[in-house]
Structure 1
Amino acid sequence: MQPPIFIINMASSIERWHTTSTRLQAIGLEGTRFEATVGKALSEQEVASWYSSELNLKRHHRNMTPGEIGCYISHMRIWEKMRDEQIPFCIVLEDDLKIEPHLVDVIEQIGKLRNWDLVKLSDNCANPFIDEVKLSDTLTLGNYLKVPNCTHGYAISLDGANKLLKRRPFFRAVDVDIQFHSEVALNITGVKPYPIDEDLSFVSDIATSNNGRHSNRSTFWRNFRHRKDMYFQRKKISADIKSIAPK
């Protein structure tokens, strides 16, 4: 049985939704539209219920834009849905993607994994695996020191969703927060070849609707602290694949 595939999509982007859902249907999968949150449409009180500007100042190198806040809330609302409905695992996709046919095989293999939290389905920086194990003749499971920082596509388990929900109130962008996996004991792996890639022929509707500028209040010490934290984070392997790979 296919797990839920949630596609984060702006309310105004009906054509984008149809394009992405059609690409899934072409390989025998069905997607569920999940309306994106528009950060700049939120009141100050609504933003404060999700995002901590105080923690951001103390623990990140710059402020978050309304777009980054809206993007994070969109992902976190999916994790909340998983918790509330006890969904064992799902696939989360953004809506500006190329989708490869072997996504079907990847989903099948993910269903056989043990004790996993999050599986990266895309990477725009070609980060290498540290350890790896074959899942099939064509698919390889691996872990990272430098976790891919994009959120175009990933699989997440209920355990993974519950761990990430501990982030609220958040203070970094969602892709950066996932890179700091050790803070919530999040096990992250990836499957290559990745079945998801960004479609550069699209301009992101989410980014356009969530426009906003970063503050210029970042300081030398904020940048230094962030780089130091990231340096030590990248000394920690993202998962023990021997405990996750099928027996």
Structure 2
Amino acid sequence: MQAMPVFVVSLKTATDRRAALKSHLDDLGIRFEWFDAIRGDQLSLPYRQQVNPVGNMSPGQLGCYLSHIHIYEQIIAQALPVALILEDDAVLHPSVKNLIETGCLNLDFDYCFLGSDDCGDAGYVYYDAAKPSRLSTQHMAFPLSSGPFCLHAYCITLEGAKKRVACAYPLRRPIDHYHDLPYRPRMMTVVPMVAFVNELSAVQSMSSLNWSGLQTRARKYRWYYPLRDLLKLKFVRKLIALQRTPFPHPGQWRALESAFKVVRKSRLKNVADANWRK
């Protein structure tokens, strides 16, 4: 019996991604509900101008934003205390089933990420290692300095959904931008991360930020993201930013790891367990 509902955001036409994720979740014994994502390029121009009068968001960003907001509205309508939301390129560590079956032991958050990017619209993201909170019998969660990019696997509480829906319109920024919200979301993350992306993430089905040619092909391989980060000197940049970031409170702030690691199901447990042993 699942204590936490699971919603999967996916375009109805993304048959390959749907098949891959369904197989993965079936293997884990996780029940879920499809939520048909909105195609921003199929929205009428008058409606797009109505919800985003500034006109600063791409059709893909509009579709992604509205898809997640509509799930939040469903969470509110059903009065669900908390829900797990996945995008169709997510790959979960087997321990996530425990979280779904038992539910969250702590709901003192708005968002809790099972995996995310290591930066957001406010810069690099850090977690406070001094304030662990038990999310489930197998998972610890920690406060975040700010909100990270990427919504491929996260929990949102009923209170968190209500706060976000209350200021959802008009649209001003992509759904995973939090810095300009009229409130400060309570952000947490699971450490070590338990959600990654699969090789199909190289083709963005819900956004207009598509890559082509060599970069698209390269993104399907697990060496792409580590090599990209190395060439960008990301480790050094994080250390420098650590000294300059205005943290919300004193603590033991540590750099957040990025979930952008292409992980195939056959390698998932070894990769995640290696992180847990660090």
Report TM bin, short chain: 0.7 to 0.9
Distance in 2 between the 1:114 and 1:88 partners? 8
Distance in 1 between the 2:65 and 2:153 partners? 14
Structure 1 match to 2:89: 96
Distance in 1 between the 2:10 and 2:205 partners? 8
Structure 1, residues 143-173: CA drift from partner, whole Å, max 9, x if none?
Answer: 1114321111110111110000022222001
Q: Which moved more, 1:23-32 or 1:131-140?
A: 131-140
**Structure 2: stretches of 5+ with no match in the other structure:** 120-124, 211-243, 250-278
* Larger relative contact order (CA 8 Å, sep ≥ 6): 1
Structure 1 match to 2:127: 129
Structure 2 match to 1:13: 14
Report the CA distance between 1:46 and its aligned residue. 1.9
Structure 1 match to 2:248: 236
Structure 2 match to 1:140: 140
Report the CA distance between 1:197 and its aligned residue. 1.0
Structure 1 match to 2:189: 190
Distance in 1 between the 2:184 and 2:105 partners? 21
Amino acid at match of 2:46: Q
Report the CA distance between 1:235 and its aligned residue. 3.8
Structure 1 match to 2:32: 31
> TM-score with structure 1 length normalisation?
0.74
SS at match of 2:199: coil
Aligned residues: 206
Structure 1 match to 2:260: none
Distance in 2 between the 1:91 and 1:114 partners? 13
Question: Percentage identity across aligned positions?
Answer: 24
Report the CA distance between 1:103 and its aligned residue. 1.1
After superposition, residues 31-180 of structure 1 pair within 5 angstroms as: 31-53=32-54, 63-107=56-100, 111-125=104-118, 127-130=125-128, 131-133=130-132, 135=134, 139-167=139-167, 168-177=169-178, 179-180=179-180
Q: Residues 72 and 173 of structure 1 are in contact (CA less than 8 Å); yes or no, is this contact kept in structure 2?
A: yes
Distance in 2 between the 1:74 and 1:86 partners? 18
Q: Please tell me the root mean square deviation across aligned C-alpha atoms, in Å.
A: 2.6
Amino acid at match of 1:50: V
Seen in structure 2, the aligned counterparts of structure 1 residues 42 and 19 have a Cα distance that, compared at 3 Å, is: same
Structure 2 match to 1:224: none
Distance in 1 between the 2:51 and 2:102 partners? 34
Report the CA distance between 1:34 and its aligned residue. 0.5
Distance in 2 between the 1:200 and 1:137 partners? 30
Seen in structure 2, the aligned counterparts of structure 1 residues 184 and 110 have a Cα distance that, compared at 3 Å, is: farther
SS at match of 1:174: coil
Amino acid at match of 1:151: L
Structure 1, residues 172-218: CA drift from partner, whole Å, max 9, x if none?
Answer: 011113x556x32421111112221122344122235x87xxxxxxx
Amino acid at match of 2:248: K
